[in-house]
Amino acid sequence: MLINLSNLGKRYNYEWIFRNLTFTFESGSSYAILGHNGSGKSTLLTLIAGHNLPSEGELSYSLSGSPIAPEQAFRQLSLTAPYLELVEEFTLHEMLSFHANFKPLRHNISHGQLIERMGLTKARNKFVKDFSSGMKQRLKLGLALYADTPLLLLDEPTTNLDSEGIAWYQEHVDLNKTDRIVIIGSNIEHEYGFCEQRLHITDFHPVSRR
């Protein structure tokens, strides 16, 4: 997969979040979008995910040399972020079954195998609403990491995770980064330390270009 950003910019009302952002993301590489809180990391991820529209510039996708219409890009990506919600009325097993209808799992692993990999075996029949915040985050990450998609977007991926959960994240993102584009929005080293490329969103703030 290939994603091209050309002179991309986003503003809310009269305030520009970033401008003149030109960058290319390629399969087989991991990227960190870096910057302080409120700098535009999440905004850029939502643009790439198609959840938001740019105010200027262009964003294009291609897969195996064939262009992908922007409105169809969601089929090729998995995303997790603190602001995304789970269907809390489902049990864990029901949640996985529902999710797999839209995004099949990588490597043909079964729902039971994924539950085991997430370390949530004892919660198989537990309602998601009764999960702790750390369990919910591990579930969000498991669904994103193990979805069979060429693009993986992770926004502040270790939110609500303790040290054991952080180690779990680092292990499983490493197992699932091959042959994909992995883009992480973060300002915490342990979330993005493995990324080969870094994009500092503040380099594209209007104030930094005066």
Structural domain for 69, as ranges = 2-209
CA–CA dist 143, 105 (Å, integer): 8
* Residue 1 three-state SS: coil
Give the per-residue pLDDT at 210.
38
Give the per-residue pLDDT at 3.
98
CATH number of the domain residue 119 falls in: 3.40.50.300
Question: Which residue positions in the chain have pLDDT lower than 50?
Answer: 208-210
* Residue 12 three-state SS: strand
CB 6 within 8 A of CB 58: yes
Beta-bridge partner residues of 3: 25, 61
| Cα→Cα distances 90→41, 78, 95, Å | 31, 20, 6
List, for residues 64-100, the tens digit of each pLDDT value: 999 999 999 999 999 999 999 999 999 999 999 999 9
Q: Find the angle CA(87)-CA(91)-CA(92) to the nearest 5 degrees.
A: 90
CA–CA dist 185, 34 (Å, integer): 6
Q: What is the DSSP letter of 64?
A: T
Give the per-residue pLDDT at 206.
87
Q: Domain count of the chain?
A: 1
> What tokens were used for 123?
């919660």
Q: What is the pTM of this model?
A: 0.95
CA–CA dist 141, 87 (Å, integer): 15
Q: Find the angle CA(109)-CA(115)-CA(118) to the nearest 5 degrees.
A: 105
- The region that residue 204 occupies, defined by phi over 0 for left and psi between -120 and 50 for alpha, beta otherwise, is alpha
H or E, element range at 20: strand 15-26
CB 152 within 8 A of CB 28: no
Residue that the structure tokens 């089929």 belong to: 75
Give the per-residue pLDDT at 207.
67
Give the per-residue pLDDT at 209.
44
